Amino acid sequence: MEVKTFLWEHRKRLETRRFPPYAPELDPDEHVWTVLKHQRLANWCPKTEEEIRAGEERELRSMPARPELVASFIRHSELPLPALP
């Protein structure tokens, strides 16, 4: 419900689109998980589920500090969007 409220409140400056039910090539989140799995957390051997969650959360929280990385996820998706810097 919070997302719907946010979208409604900002409807004049946001454009939303629905994804097809299964289209990982369009979803920038897929690139996030690929980077985490194959780069940031590769060869990491957590012993507990809590360690896994903490490691994932740590890496995800560090991404906003790297806007070029976040923009690359959007650029490399096959979304029909205008070019990003």
Q: Which residue did the predictor score with more confidence, 72 or 80?
A: 72
Output the pLDDT for position 84: 57
Question: What residues does each domain of the chain span?
Answer: 21-75
Segment 8-66, tens digit of pLDDT? 999 999 888 777 788 888 888 889 989 989 988 999 999 999 999 999 999 999 988 88
CB atoms within 10 A of CB 18: 5
0.85 surpassed by pTM: no
Q: Is the pLDDT of residue 85 over 80?
A: no
b/e sequence 19-52, b meaning 16+ C-beta within 10 Å: eeeeeeeebbeebbeebbeeebbeeeeeeeeeee
Output the pLDDT for position 51: 95
Q: Which residue did the predictor score with more confidence, 70 or 17?
A: 70
Long-range contact set of residues 45-51: C-beta below 8 Å, sequence gap at least 24: none
Question: Rounded to an integer, what distance in angstroms lies between the CA atom of residue 39 and that of residue 11?
Answer: 36
Output the pLDDT for position 64: 86
66: tokens are 């790297």
